[in-house]
Structure 1
Amino acid sequence: MSRRRFLGSTLAATGVAAGLSTVAGPRAGASPTARTYDAVVVGGGLSGLAAATTLRRSGASVVVLEARSRPGGRVHNISTPGLGATVDAGAEFIGPTQNHIAALTREHGIDTIRTYNRGDSLFWHSGTALRMPADVPLPLHPALAEAGPALLRATADSLAGFPVGQPWKHPDAQYLDSITWAQYVNRFARSDMARNMTSIAMSAALSVRPDEVSALYYLNYIASSGDENNPGTLVRLLSTDGGAQERMLVGGAARIPIMMAAALDERIVYNAAVRSIDTTAGHAVVHSDAGTFTGHKVVVAMSPAICDQIDFRPGLPAARRELQRGYRMGSVAKFSAVYKRPFWREKGMSGQVFGNGRPIDVTFESHTEGHHILMGFISADAMRRLDHAPMSQLARECVANFADYFGPDARDPLDYGVFKWDLEPWSRGGPVAVSSPRTLTRYGAALRASVGPIHWAGTETSDYWTGYMDGAVRSGKRAAGEVLAAL
């Protein structure tokens, strides 16, 4: 088995962006070579990098083909246009039971800091702000008594013994996959405020409307927020302290894929969008913008919602094709405003908001290089409305929205950064792909099932922490294990 290193592209410094990020990236790879790799990995996000790293450390020959001019996929740092402050444009937080991404932070010497979670957070309902202790994941309010306890009880009942990563095996799978999340929660949330709270419990994580996603999908998403020894819970998924938003990475989460890619060195080729994968001969011939590469196996480390960008020859099985059609990316952008001081703390506020405000429905405090940041997500319909709006309009609306939440001091940021994931051609949205009703029960078994020499990775294919960085790393390691077992 040949172990020669592929003479491909080298990792250059990652560029920065103002508004919609443009990256001054590495050079494309060398000319196509006649060698056959043990595995070709399609996608240089966390899942693809984890797969390639695992394969390399096991002695397998591997090459990674990345469409962008940078590594990381949906994990990406940008710089604000004025100050040049580094902000997370994509995935940002890590928390308890996310053991695989935590191990990478230690391996690469990246420090973490706790997300600020003192004072009060805001629950926003149609122009009214309800203050609540920051350490309470769901609002404490009489009008929400019907929703909060019922939501926790209903999800706990549905999650008892949940087949994590295989939701189609749930005893009530057919029913839960026949309805949307909105239909699931509307059984006990009857007031507008209660429905707002149960909706944000889902949209805060997925950036879709509650009527756009299968109830079974989101229950699996909740069940996945743990590990082999700790069952997933809604509280862990939504919480800051003790939950998925507990910590941030100093210098930005993209430091991890940048360091992983640097360690792979010549084994990663940039500007190498894959156009087709031909497996008619029993191995994989991968045609990309940087040339043609051959592997005994291929790992497609991509969201199932965007795999249709690749022409598979022969065609994929019907179940896999229908699975991909049943998934869609959430619509989301991330807006970060940089301030001279954390004035919200002076008002006894955590910087966290959840609710139906527009265009930003969820906010957190963040930090970068000595600066204080209010970061907010623009999701679903609000994002689709602003997809092609001028950046000045988007920034104006977001800053005004921060002023609604935190007062007039929010109107004067020192700088801001924006990244519209909907317009990123190799992601088509974010933060994760979700499935429509009747997709998982009909076609879910095709999510990870290999097709000849093709193996599937990506955070959507993970059992635990699907949709998160930890899930991406888990999925890459699993796919690499499948390849090694089959070589």
Structure 2
Amino acid sequence: MTLTDSNKPETVDVVIVGAGLSGLRAAVKIHEAGYSVVVLEAGERVGGKTLSVDASHLGGKVDLGAAWLNDTNQSEMYKLANDFGFDLIKQRATGFNLHQEPDGKVIKLPHGTMPLPSGAAEVVQEFLEKLNQWVDEIDPENPSSHPEAKMLDSLTFGQLGFKYLGPELGPAVADSATSALLGVGPDEVSALYMVDYFRAGTGLDNMASDKKDGGQYLRNRQGNQTFSIRLAAKLPKKAIRLRCPVKKIRQGSNGAIVETADPRHNFWAKRVVVSVPTCLYSTIAFDPPLPPSKQMLGDSTTLGYYSKTIFVFEKPWWREAGLSGIIESETGPIYFSRDTCSEEDGQYSITCFVVGDRGREWSKWSSAERKRIVSNQFKRIFSAVDIKAPEPVNIIVQEWTKQPWIWGAPSPVMMPGTLTSDSGKALRESYGRVHFVGTETSLVWKGYMEGAVRSGVRGAEEVIQAFEEE
């Protein structure tokens, strides 16, 4: 690149690539330590996979992305919520759930009940106990050190389910975890990766729970994108640069040049923090190239299909019928749903998750057809228990896989053979003056907002320590 007066790089202590929660949390911590920062965001907004919009003309917000936190083992997010004065809403899970079986039949179930064929409960419980044993034993800092790591990393989670539960139960039980949590089928992800993911989320029971300590315990009345907006507000006004996709990072002996798609917006920095999913590393040219272990991370990880369809109503009619608003479907495209109301705002909604292979098939239809298909399923499920769902005042659809610079949600997954390889061990390693953060790099609650924020803190601490040692 030939430098002219108009495209000479701006000088800054640290460039952060990506204005999601991990990048912004890193930027704020580095800025508060006294160093200058610039955050380069390829998209048109801050927030990454947090996005909050108006529910309808009636008021209130809904989250199209990350939706929950808790006040115990997600301490970083809870502290931010308190610092920012956000109003937290306990997730409602009162009443009966509706379970749609493969033949379309719908049954009412008490919340927390797992519908299983006769005689299957014992064998499923044994499998879950074995899973929990691995989860308790695994070292999150070094998963490959587990005595059974190589065995687990030689299998997909689907194969593990088949091995322990057989062909009837195995695929369905395995898919209920991988699709719901990560938007991928059970044969798209390593069994060891799933055990490590469960460990990061403090165990499968907590990850599935909407009670205290659970992954679905609290929602933010103001919407979770406001975490990113408020973090960005802690930085100097010119620190956030939107519509600035990074194309190249050229490292030298004392710094790095970060080139964006617009040659008028290039930067020289002493350190760089990359806060994009591993599978997007290939969108950036690194000079010198990333080591093979890092390159393989980019090539061998993938993001799942994750989308939401939110039905907004004038009243919470399902509550009056004694229902929780929770749907669990074995037919699709809806996989599961949650009551996402904010009573103080008069906002009454049910958020339906369309994920995994079912979601990919549904995604092939036109926008109008997708909305029609999911609306019809929603109505059929309630009519099967003699409840007529009223017409919604608004329907909001968000497909994360189709979002530029995001490609999917919630977190990249690894296929067999990756986590026990050099790539698995290189996940959090810096390369020269470049540091890597993101929710998938977190030891705790990876794939969640908590994991994103914790990874940002870790990346900032690496940078600050490097400055102090220079």
TM-score by length of 2: 0.91
Pairs within 5 Å for 1:45-444: 45-79=20-54, 86-95=61-70, 96-126=72-102, 127-134=104-111, 136=112, 138-139=114-115, 142-190=118-166, 192=168, 195-225=171-201, 232-242=202-212, 243-264=214-235, 265-290=237-262, 291-368=265-342, 369-407=345-383, 409-410=388-389, 412-442=391-421, 443-444=423-424
SS at 1:201 equivalent: helix
Counterpart contact for 1:343–1:409, Cα < 8 Å: no
SS in 2 for 1:64: strand
Query: CA contact under 8 A between 1:217 and 1:440: conserved in structure 2?
Result: yes
In 1, Cα distance between the equivalents of 2:210 and 2:46?
Answer: 28
CA distance in 2, matches of 1:141, 1:109: 47
Deviations 1:63-93 (A, max 9, x none): 1101111100001113457667632110001
Aligned AA for 1:260?
L
Q: Distance in 2 between matches of 1:364 and 1:282?
A: 51
- Identity of matched residues, %: 33
Post-superposition CA distance 1:116-139 (Å, at most 9, x none): 1111223433123343322x2744
Query: 1:395/1:89 Cα in 2 relative to 1: closer, same or farther (>3 Å)?
Result: same
More deviation, 354-363/72-81: 72-81
Given that 2:42 and 2:242 are in contact with CA atoms closer than 8 Å, whether structure 1 keeps it comes out as yes
Indicate if the aligned counterparts of 1:462 and 1:475 stay in contact, CA closer than 8 A.
yes
- Deviation per CA, 1:185-242: give whole Å up to 9, x if none: 22232364564234212321111111111011111110001xxxxxx21110111113
Per-residue deviation, 1:147: 4.6
> Aligned equivalents of 1:471 and 1:320: distance in 2?
20
Contact 2:20-2:228 within 8 A present in 1 as well: yes
Mean Cα deviation higher: 292-301 or 355-364: 355-364
1:377-405 CA distance string (max 9 Å, x none): 11122222233422211111111121233
Q: Which runs of 5+ in 1 are unaligned?
A: 1-30, 226-231
Q: Deviations over 1:409-454 (max 9, x none)?
A: 3362111111111111111111111111111111201111111001
User: Kindly tell me: are residues 151 and 203 of structure 1, through their superposed partners in 2, closer, same or farther at Cα, counting changes over 3 Å?
Assistant: farther
Shift of 1:259: 1.1
Further displaced range: 291-300 or 118-127: 118-127
* Amino acid aligned to 2:259: H
Distance (whole Å) between structure 2 residues aligned to residue 137 and residue 282 of structure 1: 59
- In 1: Cα distance, 2:145 partner to 2:124 partner: 27
Inter-partner Cα distance in structure 1 for 2:140 and 2:380: 40
What amino acid is aligned across from residue 419 of structure 1 in structure 2? Q
Aligned position for 1:454: 434
Partner Cα separation in structure 1 for residue 113 and residue 458 of structure 2: 32
Distance of 2:254 and 2:301 partners within structure 1 = 28
CA distance in 1, matches of 2:433, 2:399: 34
In the comparison of the two structures, how many residue pairs are matched? 450
What is the alpha-carbon root mean square deviation over aligned residues?
2.0
2:412 aligned partner, one-letter code: A
How far 1:157 sits from its partner (Å)? 1.6
Partner SS state of residue 144, structure 2: helix
Specify the code of the residue in structure 1 equivalent to 2:188. Answer: E
Return the TM-score normalized by structure 1: 0.88
> Amino acid of the residue matched to residue 409 of structure 1?
K
1:43 maps to which of 15, 18, 25: 18
Conserved 8 A contact 2:55-2:347: no
SS state at 1:305 partner: helix
1:281 is displaced (CA, Å) by: 4.0
Q: Deviations over 1:303-354 (max 9, x none)?
A: 1011111111111101111121110000121110001222222232211123
